[in-house]
């Protein structure tokens, strides 16, 4: 995504500034003070929730895109960035990210609010990732001959 270059805010709210690459932000926008730069355009990645069950662990991750534009082009910029991100992460449905994180096929996007905070535009992608589920080993139960070998074969089949 380093080749994506979008406008920033200029000296006043209605004037675009220089274009720049997307900023990537972990979890939340930084606290704004008088000396800080406008974070737009940005991509923010935030873990929203998690469900742990005996067979799986799932984490819902939001990917929030923010763009600046004095006209409605900003919405299209945000939509294009969301589409690009979606296309970049789709392979993780088949091949796990870092050999550990499996993307579940359902990816949703929305505009976050019905009324966009002009001239800033925001969209969010909701993704769900599954983490390797634990394989329980039985202890001393009858008929468990070859179970360790089965567990190793299962791990290899699932995760390479």
Map out the domains of the chain with their CATH numbers.
5-135 (3.30.70.1700)
The 3-state DSSP class for residue 92 equals helix
The pLDDT of residue 49 is: 95
Q: Give the pLDDT confidence score for residue 36 in this predicted structure.
A: 72
Contact 20, 40 (CB under 8 A): no
Q: 84: Cβ–Cβ under 8 A, 6 or more apart, which residues?
A: 1, 4
Is 119 within 8 Å of 9 (Cβ atoms)?
Answer: yes
Verdict on whether the full-model pTM lies above 0.85: no
pLDDT at 137: 52
Q: Check if the beta carbon of residue 38 is closer than 8 Å to that of residue 47.
A: no
CA 24 to chain centre: 11
User: What does the pLDDT read at residue 11?
Assistant: 81
Q: Dihedral of CA 88/92/95/98: which sign?
A: positive
DSSP-derived letter for residue 144 is -
Task: Please report the pLDDT score of residue 58 as a whole number.
Answer: 92
- Give the pLDDT confidence score for residue 150 in this predicted structure: 66
State the pLDDT at residue 160. 65
- Please measure the distance between the N-terminal and C-terminal CA atoms of the chain and give it in whole angstroms: 28
Low-confidence ranges of the chain (pLDDT < 50): none
Q: What pLDDT does residue 31 have?
A: 84
């Amino acid at each position: 995504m380093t080749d994506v270059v979008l406008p920033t805010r200029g000296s006043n709210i209605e004037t675009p500034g220089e274009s720049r690459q997307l900023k990537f932000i972990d979890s939340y926008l930084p606290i704004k003070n008088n000396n800080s730069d406008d974070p737009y355009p940005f991509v923010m990645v935030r873990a929203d929730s998690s469900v742990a069950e005996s067979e799986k662990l799932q984490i819902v991750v939001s990917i929030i895109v923010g763009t600046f534009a004095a006209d409605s082009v900003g919405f299209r910029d945000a939509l294009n960035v969301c589409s690009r991100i979606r296309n970049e992460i789709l392979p993780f449905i088949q091949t796990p990210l870092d050999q550990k994180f499996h993307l579940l096929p359902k990816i949703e996007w929305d505009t976050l609010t019905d009324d966009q905070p002009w001239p800033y535009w925001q969209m969010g992608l909701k993704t769900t990732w599954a983490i390797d589920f634990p394989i329980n080993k039985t202890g001393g139960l009858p008929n468990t001959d070859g179970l360790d070998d089965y567990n190793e074969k299962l791990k290899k089949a699932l995760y390479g």
